[in-house]
Amino acid sequence: MRQSLSHRSRAHRGPWLLICGACLIWVSGCAKPLIGNSSAVIVLLDYSRSFAPFDNGDIAALGEVNKSIVQMVRVGTLPQPVKILWAAFGDNGLKPLEPCGPARVFGQTLTGHTNDQNLPKSNLEGRLTNIVDLQSWLSVCLSAVRATSQSPQQFTDISGALMFASDAAEDIREDHIIVVFTDLLEDLPPNRQVPPLKLNKAKVLLVWRPGLDDQKQPAAVSKRVEDWRNKLERAGASRVCSKASQGISEGEISSCLWH
């Protein structure tokens, strides 16, 4: 009798073992590994003819953005490794100019050396390993931005640039920030359709000033700021804040994004 029950128990377990094995194979084949960087800052620059070239006031505002990036990295509000990318949009926001070159990754341990285990292999060569190197790169980057902004483009594809930024943050596991420096006057080329925006819980900072087309109606930019704020929230941004570029400070940027 005991042998018969044991045989029956094994017979009932057989199908369940097959099902469990199939489930494990499916999970292991479909689950995505945790790879990539922990956080990111992507700075989008408006190189359209209504906004560029950048003047000294613009460069000063972007200098405060640089200071805020360094501070967020230093105090840990942006967990490491941190991906940093600057992109300038105009006629085609999905294929922007990268005035500072490809994205750089910052990662350091308490001893000042990079923890290579946390960094994707593709980023090991161009990594930044200490705050001084980060500050130096951001300073050189700002000089490149000043120079390349002197060649404005005809159109303003803000939506495409935001989609580019969202795609660039696909490998990010935690917070990612998108900073947009613009007059928010979108002007697309003929027959260009606006892509659907999906911002995947990004924090978005709009740093704005009136553009060249706003000289007759400088108050028009304020309405555009509010319209874009609503659009970005509907597109899935976890936080949208805006600051006029004139007189902006590192402290205001950090407070806007995190408080």
Q: Report the chain's terminal Cα–Cα distance, integer Å.
A: 71
Q: Can you list the alpha helix ranges (DSSP code H) found in 40-194?
A: 56-75, 131-148, 158-168
The candidate with the shortest Cα–Cα distance to 80, out of 32, 125, 122, 127, is: 127
- Predicted confidence at residue 92, as pLDDT, reads 96
Q: At CA 101, angle to CA 129 and CA 187, rounded to 5?
A: 130
- Predicted confidence at residue 125, as pLDDT, reads 57
Regions of the chain where pLDDT drops below 50? 1-34, 111-123
- Predicted confidence at residue 108, as pLDDT, reads 82
- Predicted confidence at residue 196, as pLDDT, reads 86
pTM for the complete prediction? Answer: 0.82
For residues 90 and 182, is the Cβ–Cβ distance under 8 A? no
For residues 107 and 81, is the Cβ–Cβ distance under 8 A? yes
pLDDT in tens, 50-67: 999 999 999 999 999 999
What is each CA distance from 186 to 61, 93, 195, in whole angstroms? Answer: 21, 11, 13
DSSP class of 1: -
